[in-house]
Structure 1
Amino acid sequence: MPTRQEVMRLYRGLLKNARAFFDDTTREFIQTETKKLFRKNHNDIMLDRVHRKLNGARTTLHLLERANQHIFKDVLSVLGYGYGRKGPRKLVMLEATVGVEVREEIFGSVHDVEKYRPAFFALAKYQLGVDKLYVNKDTLRSNHPINVAKMQDEHWKKIRHQVLPPVDAATMDILEERASSGIVTSSAQYLNPEYAHVIKAWEERWVKFPERRQVRRFYRRLLESIDRMDVTTVMVPNPGKYLNEKARRTTEFAPGVEKPDLIPKKVYRFVKSPLAGKQQPENANIIDIAGMDTHGSVKI
């Protein structure tokens, strides 16, 4: 069984390296998740499970150490955990944005999912395409309707793990500002001025901020996998307006009550940032070195 000194050294190393990461959202998430998991598992007595969890914590520690050296792929991996591209926050963000709970199962035909989970259906359709929502019947052993329905339910489980949750407009604005300016704003700007200088001094001592060109590169690549969700309400014709009398008695409207011609319906729209993957600003200047015009733009 690992000793207390080994576990505490690993625990403090995770918190120290998380504290040095430049993105405040990711930094707070890693610190909170580390404290929660270590407190949850400190009484575990299954030796194999303990070693497996500690090996995972060591892998995370090494990833944070490389990310704090501003290695490109490792920084993107850590940012992915902070903004729900993978890891535990992904399921939480799916519940907050498209209403799919953490332990909820998605099942049914494509028509049923579109009817009862419209936000999830719109997100999956936007990211994967409508053809990917149907199970491939050519790969099934039997095309019997019961077997097709069963495999369609299994297919929804795969789709749920493939889709990436969208973000709100406020988060997208922050990411676009950093991708454009290359400056990571300090969290001290949201505090009382008498405490702001303390936070700034703490960040200057502990947080390892990358150069501006690196910040632009990190966030522009991150924006490639992030969509903003806009929800609007439109009025559509009421499909139950002209049902026969028998079907009308089963609806939510009482007999004899006139149904409206139009009913509200939510429309989900997903927007990709114009800065996603962009390698240079729009107004990049032409470099003129020793009187020679280089027909290219400034590399950022």
Structure 2
Amino acid sequence: MDKAIRKRHILSLYRSILRESSRFFDDYAKQFLKKRARKRFREYKEETNETRIKYKLIEAKQSLNRLKRANIFDPKSVKRILEFAYGRRGQMRHKLLKPIIDEPSPAPKPIVKGYPRTAPPRMSPSLKTLITTQGKSLYPVLPVPPHKPLYPSRKANLLWWHYSKNMRTVMPPVDDKLFEEIEKKAGKGILTQI
């Protein structure tokens, strides 16, 4: 593909994504989508690797199609976009969880002495509170083999597996400003006005 034609194609795709983003019904998600599109297109503006350019174009077309489906109120697409915008998935979720995960806390001792890789996962007090308030257990119920004890390395693997499972499903806390926005959209205060 000629560079001039590709450039026009990319600009057309960018404008289409911004146009579809501005049609989305939720103001907060609308701003999130526009900011994300601008950031992504700027990030790969100087890309020269042909394979990566093709991959990113396919990804942008998929995003545009999801936006189009969301704008005609396809429930699955709307839900996915709202989850990304409000930090239930993706980079926003990681950004909200990072300060809680990185909070200083003592490093646990390895289960097998001299093997630091067998140390259980480090969890800050805030992270422990967040996990338990969402109804999840901090530690798994370890199996008890009938004929021999559980190997320490197996125990370490099970602890890490449980921690990873928790981190995939734990929801970050929502800041006060965003919480008020969500409450307002959910209809808080409407009954008191009637």
Shorter-chain-normalised TM-score: which range? 0.7 to 0.9
Query: Among 134, 137, 153, which residue is 2:140 paired with?
Result: 134
- Give, in whole Å, the separation in 2 of the partners of 1:49 and 1:151: 37
1:174 aligns with 181
Query: Among 40, 60, 63, which residue is 2:63 paired with?
Result: 60
- Give, in whole Å, the separation in 2 of the partners of 1:52 and 1:138: 48
1:238 aligns with none
Query: Among 3, 9, 15, which residue is 2:12 paired with?
Result: 9
Identical-residue share of aligned pairs (%): 27
State the Cα distance separating 1:92 from its structure 2 match: 0.7
User: Structure 1 residues 173 and 8 mapped into 2: Cα distance closer, same or farther (>3 Å)?
Assistant: same
- Give, in whole Å, the separation in 2 of the partners of 1:170 and 1:11: 30
User: Structure 1 residues 149 and 66 mapped into 2: Cα distance closer, same or farther (>3 Å)?
Assistant: same
1:86 aligns with 89
| Preserved CA contact (<8 Å) 1:13 1:61 | yes
Which protein is richer in strand relative to its size?
A: 1
2:101 aligns with 100
Question: Residues 162-218 of structure 1, C-alpha deviation per residue, up to 9 Å, x if partnerless?
Answer: 21112133322321222127x9xxxxxxxxxxxxxxxxxxxxxxxxxxxxxxxxxxx
Instruction: Please identify the structure whose Cα radius of gyration is greater.
Output: 1
2:169 is aligned with 1:149: no
2:164 is aligned with 1:164: no
Q: Map of 1:231-242 to 2, 5 A cutoff?
A: none
**Amino acid in structure 2 at the alignment position of 1:134:** P
State the Cα distance separating 1:128 from its structure 2 match: 4.7
- Give, in whole Å, the separation in 2 of the partners of 1:48 and 1:143: 48
| Preserved CA contact (<8 Å) 2:142 2:158 | no
**Amino acid in structure 2 at the alignment position of 1:91:** H
Q: Return the TM-score normalized by structure 1.
A: 0.50
Count matched residues: 172
User: Structure 1 residues 109 and 27 mapped into 2: Cα distance closer, same or farther (>3 Å)?
Assistant: same
| Preserved CA contact (<8 Å) 2:21 2:30 | yes
Q: Return the TM-score normalized by structure 2.
A: 0.74
- Give, in whole Å, the separation in 1 of the partners of 2:65 and 2:18: 12
| Preserved CA contact (<8 Å) 1:67 1:74 | yes
Structure 1 gaps, min length 5: 184-280, 282-300
Q: Map of 1:110-259 to 2, 5 A cutoff?
A: 113=123, 117-130=124-137, 133-134=139-140, 137=143, 143-180=150-187
Which protein is richer in helix relative to its size?
A: 2
State the Cα distance separating 1:87 from its structure 2 match: 1.4
State the Cα distance separating 1:38 from its structure 2 match: 1.3
State the Cα distance separating 1:138 from its structure 2 match: 7.1
Question: Residues 225-245 of structure 1, C-alpha deviation per residue, up to 9 Å, x if partnerless?
Answer: xxxxxxxxxxxxxxxxxxxxx
| Preserved CA contact (<8 Å) 1:93 1:165 | yes
| RMSD over aligned Cα atoms | 3.1
- Give, in whole Å, the separation in 2 of the partners of 1:138 and 1:24: 52
| Preserved CA contact (<8 Å) 1:135 1:151 | no
State the Cα distance separating 1:61 from its structure 2 match: 0.7
2:62 is aligned with 1:39: no
Counterpart of 1:165 in 2: which secondary structure? coil
- Give, in whole Å, the separation in 2 of the partners of 1:158 and 1:18: 33
Structure 2 gaps, min length 5: 109-118
Question: Residues 146-168 of structure 1, C-alpha deviation per residue, up to 9 Å, x if partnerless?
Answer: 33224423442332222111213
**Amino acid in structure 2 at the alignment position of 1:130:** S
| Preserved CA contact (<8 Å) 1:135 1:152 | no
